[in-house]
Chain A
Amino acid sequence: ILNVEQSPQSLHVQEGDSTNFTCSFPSSNFYALHWYRWETAKSPEALFVMTLNGDEKKKGQISATLNTKEGYSYLYIKGSQPEDSATYLCASYRDDKIIFGKGTRLHILP
């Protein structure tokens, strides 16, 4: 994988349900993997940065895991709330370059 790929592109989840989505990135020369949360009409804001294989990070009901050997990261949201509606971007940092994925657009349904 040369690019950063995120799946799915878009996701509709019922309020209260849990969900997860994937970021795939080049595993060679890996430095760090960033997750950003981007609400409509706002700027992206950093959620997590992970650097080590097996890293797990948690912020409230949102958590992320990292597998640098196979080049993927999962973002989990437990018990989705309306305020979780946003685009979630991941970005791979390698060779002093940052490459963003296209994002997963999460819609929480009431």
Chain B
Amino acid sequence: DADVTQTPRNRITKTGKRIMLECSQTKGHDRMYWYRQDPGLGLRLIYYSFDVKDINKGEISDGYSVSRQAQAKFSLSLESAIPNQTALYFCATSEYNGRYNEQFFGPGTRLTVL
């Protein structure tokens, strides 16, 4: 079984719709992240959470919100989707060991906004 899962894996939606992407993990990690990947731009951090009561904005948080419902769940919402939010979205987890912070990625969600 996958340690980090994302649902849905693919989604096509229309401009203005609200959409939620969900991430679950069984790794027991405290830290969870949402990234988006666009061709030529690499991975960019949207939001991250170090525990259930902690939410932090990343590099490109505008137009997105998140909810950390439990240690194992971290959801990303697009309140009113727009076409330039079409991208591949990755959830990741990590467990900081005092020195480094290796990321474990989910399989990705491909989102298309028409």
A89 in contact with B100 (CB, 8 Å): no
A100 in contact with B99 (CB, 8 Å): no
Question: Which range contains the number of B residues in contact with the other chain?
Answer: 10 to 19
A98–B34 alpha-carbon span in the complex (Å):
12
A100 in contact with B105 (CB, 8 Å): no
B108 in contact with A43 (CB, 8 Å): yes
A43 in contact with B90 (CB, 8 Å): yes
At the interface with chain A, which of B14-22, B35-43, B79-87?
Answer: B35-43
A26 at the interface (CB under 8 A from B): no
A102 in contact with B42 (CB, 8 Å): yes
Which residues from chain B contact A34 at a C-beta distance below 8 Å?
Answer: 100-103
B100 in contact with A46 (CB, 8 Å): no
Write the nearest CB–CB distance from B97 to chain A, whole angstroms: 10
A71 at the interface (CB under 8 A from B): no
Which residues from chain B contact A98 at a C-beta distance below 8 Å?
Answer: 33, 45, 101, 103
Write the nearest CB–CB distance from B69 to chain A, whole angstroms: 22
Q: What are 14 pairs between A and B in contact, CB < 8 Å?
A: A9-B40, A31-B101, A32-B99, A43-B106, A43-B107, A44-B90, A49-B100, A89-B43, A98-B101, A100-B42, A100-B43, A100-B44, A101-B42, A103-B42
